């Protein structure tokens, strides 16, 4: 798991997206969820947005 996160972080940095960029942590989490679960990719708007919002206290399931 840590290796996957390291690859995501390195890729974001190579794309010029620094950790201090607004929304960086959300983007990193979404990419991690998509990489680790096939289900998240197919149900992006229904499950991924809801899970991310719930994890950050912005929405209740």
Q: Give the whole-angstrom CA distance, residue 13 versus residue 23.
A: 14
Q: Name the phi and psi angles at 23, rounded to 5.
A: 90, 0
Tell me, what's the pLDDT at 60? 57
Q: Give the whole-angstrom CA distance, residue 39 versus residue 44.
A: 8
- Higher-pLDDT residue of 24 and 38 is 24
- Higher-pLDDT residue of 45 and 27 is 27
Tell me, what's the pLDDT at 10? 97
- Map out the domains of the chain as residue ranges: 2-55
The three state secondary structure string of the chain is CHHHHHHHHHHHHHCCCCCCCCCHHHHHHHHHHHHHCHHHHHCHHHHHHHHHHHHCCCCCC
Mean pLDDT on 39-55: 74
- Mean confidence (pLDDT) of the chain: 84
Tell me, what's the pLDDT at 37? 80
């Amino acid at each position: 798991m840590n290796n996957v996160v390291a690859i995501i972080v390195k890729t974001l940095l190579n794309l010029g997206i620094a950790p201090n960029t607004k929304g960086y942590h959300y983007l990193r989490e979404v990419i991690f969820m998509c990489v680790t679960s096939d289900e998240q990719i197919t149900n992006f708007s229904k499950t991924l947005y809801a899970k991310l919002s719930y994890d950050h206290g912005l929405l209740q399931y």
